[in-house]
Chains A and B, each alone.
Chain A
């Protein structure tokens, strides 16, 4: 678990902050690592946009901010436009594919792009609200950064008890998608699709 900078961004109500909390908790409480989550509390945090920064490491984290994210999860077009250029060369970009159209990525940076219709999957499970758990599952499988059991525990520990089961289902579903996803295919698929929402 070497020092990894992660940004998660989207809009309010998508569980952006909660996703960061779950992953951070998994790393630092249910595994032996360290994690620091900071949120953007600036005036821009009001209204739509919402973003969290998560640093995971096997040593205590001093500098708490993301400078060049290794991994970025974006769940809105606005967040994509704003943050995607920050990504590190060879970094990983995970998008909510129904909401984000991946355009203008610098090919030389060799960024691996993965997409998942997290909202649709969550709706399929009966509650749109759990899309963040779908995303967290997807993230866990794709990145291999954290022990899936630890993340599962963190999900269970972070959601209201009456929604625990549903969130775990959502996590599993996302994890399943992540286990089979291949970056290039997704990218091709993304480019073929027209995104109407944003």
Chain B
């Protein structure tokens, strides 16, 4: 399906990542957002609030993030594509409803423009320290998808992708921006609507009598119906059977929770997106994402000028973690260098996937700024030895 042209601001724009994310959401068909202001993410909903009444849709500023993160899900079950936007402290409050969305299989997007934490931390300065929270933050076992843009253009492109993935898998998608990418201004090209591919909601074609809200047909993702269509279905955050009815037995729990996890992990290869360069001859691979990938680029360029065989693997999909890719590389490279604006989060995943076959150098940074390219270079040199 092609994008609804009403939401697509075709043209070349010089805008920051936050604004580009909003345009991506509108292009993807999002017509409902609920938010609560928090730096450095607020520009996304500010723009949405200004744009959506001219496109046909609703923005509501809720009383807190607990509310925002569930209001948007009401919007989804009424038929809208919906999202919310926040940063660390708000992301923490949203965890409850990320779990609810995972459990009820509500397709939606949570944008987190990461800033320094814990707690109020560094409201105006960058970090990438919510990466594990994005994966594991809500209680219980579930799987989500998380994407990491590294430019305003990607904030646009990947927001559309985030909505598409959320619809395809009926899963909350975490859109993990960071303060630098959010506030950085660059050219963003928005294509014509007919060049934007949109995944429509997986709406049921079953009759009212036949429809079971959590019955799957082979592909692990059930079909959905919306309130008001006559299906009179039930949705609950309790463990439920295919009818959507609470059924609190170990058997039902096992079946449900494994499916919630498997529908994502079994498609991990298909979901995985990364950018790679110079991997063929690499001794050392720099694995990075978000703003750090652009800092690392400079270090990689300098290292290659110095004759070091350094490759680049930029994670666009952070979750599900592209462990197959790392596993393959680990067989033939000496080491991975993982710079990130946290004290070593995705580095743990790299290390796990490498399983001792290549060394992992975790290059930490507590946030508030970015690495110095020369510091990354130093570790590349060390890892190449």
Contact = CB atoms under 8 A, between A and B. Distances in A.
B51 to A, nearest CB: 18
A35 B187 contact: yes
B190 to A, nearest CB: 12
Main secondary structure of the interface of A (DSSP, over half): mixed
Interface string B258-298: 00000000000000000000000000000000010011011
Interface string A40-70: 0111010000000000000001111100000
A36 interface: yes
Contacts of A29: 12-14, 187
B186 A63 contact: no
Contact of B295 (A21, A35, A63): A63
Contacts of B297: 62-63
A41 to B, nearest CB: 4
A65 B369 CA distance: 11
Chain B contact patch, size range: 20 to 34
Interface in B153-209: 179-180, 183-187
Contacts of A63: 294-295, 297-298, 373
Given A21-B14, A28-B14, A63-B373, A41 B294 contact: no
B222 to A, nearest CB: 42
Interface string B1-20: 00000000000111000000
Nearest to B183: A41
Contact of B124 (A25, A35, A45, A65): A45
A24 interface: yes
B124 A37 contact: no
A179 interface: no
B184 A37 contact: yes
Contact of B14 (A25, A42, A45): A25
B370 interface: yes
Interface residues of A, number: 20
Contacts of B132: none
Most B CB atoms within 10 A — which of A34, A61, A63?
Answer: A63
Contact of A28 (B40, B187, B298, B373): B187
A24 B185 contact: yes
A188 to B, nearest CB: 37
Interface string B121-151: 0001100000000000000000000000000
A8 to B, nearest CB: 13
Most A CB atoms within 10 A — which of B125, B183, B185, B294?
Answer: B185
A3 to B, nearest CB: 11
B298 A62 contact: yes
Nearest 3 pairs of A and B residues by beta carbon = A62-B297, A37-B185, A28-B187
15 contacts: A24-B186, A25-B14, A28-B14, A29-B13, A35-B187, A36-B184, A36-B185, A37-B185, A38-B180, A38-B183, A41-B124, A41-B183, A43-B124, A61-B186, A62-B294
Given A29-B13, A63-B294, 7 more contacts: A21-B185, A36-B185, A37-B184, A37-B186, A38-B183, A41-B179, A64-B291
